Chain A
Amino acid sequence: DGGITQSPKYLFRKEGQNVTLSCEQNLNHDAMYWYRQDPGQGLRLIYYSQIVNDFQKGDIAEGYSVSREKKESFPLTVTSAQKNPTAFYLCASSKRGSGNEQFFGPGTRLTVL
């Protein structure tokens, strides 16, 4: 079955450590996205990529980094520079072009202790 996988579902890290969240899709989508969700808030865009080896900052990119070396994969690193990293992180993908819906993964809940 086609879809998006994120791992792990729950992640705990000590303050000051970098951590990488995995996102893989087998939908053959060109575009991929990372969002952050906080309680009672909508989704805020961290980074997006429309094609392999290219990505752009979203609204809240500070303290995060990404890579897009393969079409299927778009890992997100939460660095120690991110001041408040505890949140629910969602990865999504879509075909290129307006009007195409984004498909979401199940999310990773990151807790920094």
Chain B
Amino acid sequence: GNSVTQMEGPVTLSEEAFLTINCTYTATGYPSLFWYVQYPGEGLQLLLKATKADDKGSNKGFEATYRKETTSFHLEKGSVQVSDSAVYFCALSDPSGAGSYQLTFGKGTKLSVIP
């Protein structure tokens, strides 16, 4: 079956530090990959996505590259801000399964950025 593994948090960084949140996946087909962000007490918002190998998704200074050879989709940002404090979820959508529109989520990584 499909699965997503994220680095465990919480992650605490100082403002302007470099961020990496690791994400690896297992899928039976050729999945699309997503990063979502959740602010306290809210729903999830799509941060970025990539639909095929070597694609790079980017948004608001965050980037992630779809690496098929290492089955990874690590999230990076060069300089984090206090406003980036949130929980980040990696997810995949695998078209080969019976429920082909379903998302499989990682457990989430909580990021705290301190001034």
Contacts and interface: CB of A to CB of B under 8 A. Distances in A.
A41 B95 CA distance: 24
Interface string A68-100: 000000000000000000000010101011111
A56 B42 contact: no
Given A41-B107, A43-B89, A99 B32 contact: yes
B105 A42 contact: yes
A93 B106 CA distance: 19
Interface residues of B, number: 26
B110 to A, nearest CB: 9
Given A42-B106, A43-B89, A97 B101 contact: yes
B26 interface: no
Contacts of B95: 98-99
Contacts of B99: 48, 56, 58
A2 interface: no
A43 B37 CA distance: 13
Interface residues of A, number: 29
Identify the 3 closest CB pairs spanning chains A and B, nearest first.
A98-B95, A104-B43, A99-B32
Nearest to A90: B43
Contact of A105 (B31, B41, B43, B102): B43
Nearest to A109: B41
B19 interface: no
Interface in B14-55: 31-32, 34, 36, 41-46, 49, 51
B93 interface: yes
B83 interface: no
B113 interface: no
A104 B101 contact: no
